[in-house]
């Protein structure tokens, strides 16, 4: 029985799904047709209902509640994991200046963009681009600032860039909850037993990966391009944690709180038109 599955090539996702897609665990009769894409591409596909199981940012999930339900396993939440707002300016930047900046973002439907809107609701001049291009765009003066995610958290200083604000830290201070970045969602039209089996298998895949850590597998290396093993491990340790195994009540509360922020966010950013139960029971 084949199921389409999409996730990003970033180390946290390949770490999570390695055992599942490479048959290091028993997949209980399920066969996964995998596609690895940038998260904003996956977000756009989710809005179209393209894949059976998909990684996606929470704003994309909130717009797809009529199509997808969130699994308990595989999510990226945590403390100290949020996106960073950076610039080429070494001196401090007053908040009112940021409202007039051109800001490179890793996609309209990303949680990074929503957290930027949460911290700076009047910052309107946003330039969507692939996340890996943001540092260079700021360095080249194509944007006054940029919101960086993934491994760029660990490399921006080496490029001479400077942090304006940790947007995840701002969220944590205001909400007293972990930062919900992205989740794994399943199409509602799939049979319930298949959805629950997939959720169980993703958890088993993570448990297998944790049991063999700090090993960096060939599958993770293959998709990490020129990233060093140290950066891969930093990436995995930051984004894969107990919330990845199970959202828990605290994780679900954080997702629900982010949804409240989403509903009051800039109306031009999002199409708010769907409703449905969030979580897999």
pLDDT at 275: 56
CA distances from 24 to 16, 53, 74, 255 (A): 12, 19, 17, 31
- What pLDDT score does 265 carry? 76
- Let me know if residue 63 belongs to a domain: yes
Count the alpha carbons within 13 Å of 30 in the hemisphere toward its beta carbon. 27
Q: Is residue 272 part of a domain?
A: no
184 and 171 belong to one structural domain: no
pLDDT at residue 150, as a whole number: 80
Residues annotated as part of the active site: 150
Name the stretches of the chain with pLDDT < 50: 268
| Domain housing 149 | 84-175
In a domain, 146, yes or no: yes
Asked if 77 and 180 touch (Cβ cutoff 8 Å), the reply is yes
Number of structural domains found in the chain: 2
pLDDT at 53: 98
Asked if residue 11 and residue 131 are part of one domain, the reply reads no
Q: Do 167 and 190 fall within a single domain?
A: no
Which pLDDT value is given to residue 96? 76
Q: Exposure pattern of 269-280 as b/e (b: 16+ CB <10 Å)?
A: bbeeeeeeebeb
């Amino acid at each position: 029985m084949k199921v389409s599955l999409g996730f990003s090539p970033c180390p946290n996702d390949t770490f999570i799904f390695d055992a599942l897609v490479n048959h290091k665990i028993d997949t209980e009769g399920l066969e996964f047709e995998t596609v690895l894409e940038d998260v904003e591409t996956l977000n756009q596909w989710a809005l179209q209902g393209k894949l059976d199981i998909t990684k996606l940012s929470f704003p994309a999930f909130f717009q797809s509640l009529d199509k997808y339900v969130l699994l308990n396993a595989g999510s990226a939440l945590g403390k100290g994991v949020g996106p960073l707002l950076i610039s080429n300016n070494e001196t401090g930047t007053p908040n009112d200046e940021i409202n007039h900046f051109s800001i490179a973002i890793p996609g309209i439907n990303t949680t990074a963009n929503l957290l930027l809107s949460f911290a700076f609701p009047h910052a309107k001049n946003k330039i969507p681009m692939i996340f890996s291009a943001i540092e260079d765009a700021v360095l080249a003066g194509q944007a006054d600032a940029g919101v960086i995610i993934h491994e760029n958290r660990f490399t921006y200083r080496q490029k001479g860039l400077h942090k304006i604000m940790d947007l995840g830290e701002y969220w944590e201070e205001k909400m007293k909850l972990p930062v919900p970045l992205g989740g794994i969602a399943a199409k509602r039209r799939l049979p319930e037993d298949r959805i629950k089996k997939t959720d169980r298998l993703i958890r088993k895949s993570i448990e297998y990966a944790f049991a063999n850590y700090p090993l960096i597998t060939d599958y993770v290396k293959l998709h990490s391009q020129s990233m060093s093993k140290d950066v891969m491990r930093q990436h995995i340790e930051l984004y894969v944690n107990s919330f990845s195994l199970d959202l828990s009540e605290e994780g679900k509360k954080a997702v629900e709180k982010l949804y409240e922020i989403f509903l009051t966010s800039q109306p031009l950013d999002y199409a708010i038109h769907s409703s449905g139960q969030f979580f897999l029971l």
